[in-house]
Amino acid sequence: MIQSFGLWSIPLLLHGLMWTVLLSLTTFVAGGLFGLLFALGRSIGPRWLKLLIAGYIQLVQATPLLILLFLSFYALPFMGWYFPPLAAAAISLTAYSTAFLADIWRGCIEAIPRTQWEAADALALSTTQKLRYVILPQAFRIARGPTVGFMVQIVKNTSVTALIGFVELTRAGQLLNSMTFQPFDVFLTVAALYFVVCYPLSLWSEKLKERRSAGSAH
């Protein structure tokens, strides 16, 4: 039965939006955790680890997210368990975000002047102490802007999971479109909902970047 797009459709889209937000948060937390480990390994680890992580980052950044998604979606069942699309979505998005966040954060760690490491050395701090008290707090300040900027990318990237049938905002829009045949109304509303989530994050990211360039005299 063909229904027309109206107020009744909004809860359906909001339900999709809820999954978009949940998936984004999961991806950000998991990707952030692995990203931090990878960034540290890449900047202060032994040579073989650096090469391994650099290889991972380069390969993942040269593969479309959609292909990563299909790979995990089709590969996971071969492990012998049933995985819902949510698992494939979360795993591939995490693998993807890890590569990007590790790259961004490595840049931030390496942006800390050599002299800061040397000063920490001169104070006889251990490696953990150096990171904890000298390097990471400064790197964190630089990293905030680009990190929030990447959160926008994560939210937008979750839309790709619609293509393996995970019902987030975009998939909800597709379903609604096939019920109402009003693509303009449906997808403009979907786009507006994404905008409502992403735009504040973009503004925040810009603000953090400006503050950083205004405050960094060195």
Partner 1 sequence: MAYDLNFGPVLAHAPDFAAGVRDTVVLSAQSIVLGLAVGLVVSIIRTSGPRWSRTLCAIYVEAIRNTPLLVQLFLFFFGLPYIGFRLQANTVAVIAVALNLGAYAGEIFRAGLLAIPKTQVEAGLALGLSRLQVLRYVVIVPALRIIYPALTGQLTLTLLGTSLVSSISANDLTLAGSKVVSQTFLSLETFIVLAPIYIVVTFVFRFLYWLAGLWLFRRRVPTGDAAASLSLPREVSEP
Judged by the rule CB under 8 A, the positions of this chain that interact with partner 1 are 57-59, 61-68, 70-71, 74-75, 78-80, 99-100, 103-104, 107, 146, 149-150, 152-153, 156-157, 159-160, 162-163, 170, 173-174, 177, 182-184, 187-188, 190-191, 194-195, 198-199, 202, 209, 213
Handedness of CA 199, 36, 140, 142 (dihedral sign): negative
What is the smallest separation between the CB atom of 128 and partner 1, expressed in angstroms?
Answer: 27
The H-or-E segment that residue 14 falls in is helix 9-44
Give the HSE-up count for residue 185: Cα atoms under 13 Å, Cβ half-sphere. Answer: 14
What is the smallest separation between the CB atom of 123 and partner 1, expressed in angstroms?
Answer: 28
Closest CA to 135 of 156, 114, 154: 114
Nearer to partner 1, 26 or 209 (CB): 209
Nearer to partner 1, 45 or 212 (CB): 212
Q: CA-CA distance, 212 to 195, in Å (whole number)?
A: 25
Nearer to partner 1, 120 or 148 (CB): 148
- CA 194-198-203 angle, to 5 degrees, is 150
What is the smallest separation between the CB atom of 18 and partner 1, expressed in angstroms?
Answer: 17
